[in-house]
Structure 1
Amino acid sequence: MKTQVKWMVGLVALISLTGCVQKVAKPNNPYYAPITPQNLQSVRPVTGSIYSVSTNRDIYGDGRATRIGDIITVLLTERTQSSKSAKTSYDKETQINLPQPTILGRGLSAFGNPIGVSQPNAKSEFEGEGQSDMSNSLNGNITVTVHDVLPNGSLVVRGEKWLTLNQGEEYIRVSGLVRPQDIDQDNSIASTKLADARIEYAGNGAINDTNASGWLTRFFIGPFWPL
């Protein structure tokens, strides 16, 4: 029995430690990499004409991104704020008192003791209160590339930016959908106008490690700890 308990405790600890392992992000992720020149090249039709659709440039255009491989600057103006509070309380009081039964006017007894049930007052109380406030903001910019153009004209954009500091690295990754009409004249767009946006800002290195709790601390505050 003791051996089974030890195995169960070891299994729970192993599962908890496995969940605590965090994957370290690395640069040059293929998903966020820009389009390679080979994918941008298209076969030039042999028509005998000087004009070619593959090399056409609109001299009257405004320079906004419309094709695969074009570049767009995303202005990060994210700000979120949330607040939540909850309060619960209840109490319960119970009292049981069963008098001694009688037969023909005489009280029943067993072994010289009267038969009856009498329980003192039983009372239970609970009160809980919780409050959570959270606010986040992210300002800056990142330049991404167009990876695809959907049939409705929306642009699929994504890209990443890495900053190598003296004590680690910081990175920003952005992906989402852009409507061409939302792009400003300077070929930029606010991050709040990205559909299905995925914005990731984090870091690696000594400074980031000091802001993270150790694996043993995460085990004691994890869902597997009974207290």
Structure 2
Amino acid sequence: MARSKHYRRRAISLAVASLLSAGMLSACGNMIDRVAEIGKEPSMDPIQNPQNDPNYQPVSLPMPSPTADVRQPNSLWRQGSRAFFKDQRAGKVGDILTVVIEIDDQAKLDNKTDQARDGSNSAGLDNLLGYETMLADIFPDGIDAGNLVNSDSASSTTGSGTVDRSEAIKLRVAAVITQVLPNGNMVLQGTQQVRVNYELRALTVGGVIRPEDISNVNEINYDKIAEARIAYGGKGTLSDVQQPRYGQQVYDIFFPF
């Protein structure tokens, strides 16, 4: 039994040591990369086919039965067309359209919780067929059979949380059609990177759109994108200062209290 506990403690120690070693190696690698980039501008990602990304996943959604392209007899117009000779809006893989992002959200939450509890217990053994007189032989002198157990407990918990968030983003980004679904809906993905001095800002947008939601100037609002994924962030001097140090992040992960 003692040997099994020893092996269990040893296994736990090895697991914790492995996690710490992996975290330290990762942190050292990141520090080496950061040291190599001292005095240099943040590098931009190369332009590449999004389908070559290992994390790229084609969209698969429930699709209705396809509908035929209804044309009127002796008509030169095609259903959904915005131009006399050709529809200038994006409609096939590789086409480009503009995504208009105008987000102005606000949220404010304020919660507070107070909890307190007191408890006390006492127990005695005044008479038990005369066996209570034997307690003096087992316990130290001066034991009181009528007051064998006396315990008190108290706990108090106080919690408070406040969220005051305000976000305002107004951007326009060009996106590429990467997939056309069986019902005619299209999957788009776009990335934009802007570097100012030593700060790189990156905007990524993706999702599923309907052809009829594209305006006649080949634009679509972000709220018309289903399964929208919009990310706006960056890297550089300012972003680095706003992040806690690696040691602090590792400490926050493993410290249990």
| TM-score, scaled relative to structure 1 | 0.70
Partner Cα distance (2:248, 2:190) in 1:
35
**SS of 2:165's equivalent?**
strand
Match of residue 12 from structure 1: 19
More displaced 10-residue stretch of structure 1: 123-132 or 206-215? 123-132
Please point out which of 81, 94, 105 is paired with 2:119.
94
- Cα deviations by residue, 1:4-29 (Å, 9 ceiling, x for unpaired): 58755532323445777889972324
* Superposed displacement of residue 103, structure 1: 7.3
Correspondence for 2:184: 153
Quick one: structure 1 residues 102 and 150, their matched pair in 2 at CA, closer, same or farther if it must change by over 3 Å?
Answer: closer
Q: Distance in 1 between matches of 2:51 and 2:239?
A: 23
Task: Name the amino acid aligned to 1:27.
Answer: P
Is 1:69 matched up with 2:94?
A: yes
How far apart, in 2, do the equivalents of 1:215 and 1:66 lie? 46
* Cα offset, 1:157, TM superposition: 1.6
Q: How far apart are 1:216 and its partner, in Å? A: 0.7
Unaligned runs of 5+ in 2: 1-5, 34-42, 53-82
Kept in 2, the 8 Å contact 1:77–1:192? The answer is no
- TM-score, normalised to structure 2, is 0.63
- Return the match for 1:202 from 208, 214, 233: 233
Question: Can you list the C-alpha shifts for 1:27-65, whole angstroms capped at 9, x where unaligned?
Answer: 3243179xxxxxxxxxxxxxxxxxxxxxxxx64445222
1:26 equivalenced with 2:9 (yes/no): no
Query: Matched residues, percent identical?
Result: 25
For 1:6 and 1:120, the matched residues in 2 are separated by 36
- Report the secondary structure of 1:207's partner residue: helix
Which residue number corresponds to residue 62 of structure 2?
none
CA distance in 2, matches of 1:9, 1:151: 50
Q: Secondary structure at the match of 1:186?
A: coil
1:226 aligns with 2:226: no
SS in 2 for 1:221: helix
Q: Deviations over 1:169-222 (max 9, x none)?
A: 222122211111111121111111111212222223223222222211111222
Which consecutive residues of structure 1, in runs of 5 or more, have no partner in the other structure? 34-57
How far apart, in 1, do the equivalents of 2:128 and 2:179 lie?
Answer: 94
The 8 Å contact of residues 200 and 235 in structure 2, kept in 1 or not, is answered as yes
1:129-187: CA deviation from partner (whole Å, max 9, x where unpaired): 22334333321100112223222111222121121221132221222111111111211
Deviating more after overlay: 143-152 vs 172-181: 143-152
The equivalent of 2:71 in structure 1 is: none
Q: Retained in 2: the 8 A contact 1:62–1:185?
A: no
Q: Determine which structure has greater relative contact order: mean sequence separation of CA pairs < 8 Å that are 6+ residues apart, divided by chain length.
A: 1
What secondary structure, in the 3-state scheme, does the structure 2 residue paired with 1:63 have? coil
Which structure carries more strand by proportion? 1
Structure 1: distance between partners of 2:169 and 2:24: 31
**Using a 3 Å threshold, how does the CA distance of structure 1 residues 30 and 70 change in structure 2: closer, same or farther?**
closer
CA 97–183 in structure 1, closer or farther in 2 if over 3 Å, else same: same
**Residue 215 (structure 1) aligned to one of 222, 238, 246:** 246
Contact 2:44 2:193 in 1 (8 A): no
- Whole-Å Cα distance in 1 between the matches of residues 153 and 209 of structure 2? 65
SS of corresponding position for 1:124: strand
Distance apart, 1:81 and its partner CA: 3.9
Give aligned pairs, total. 200
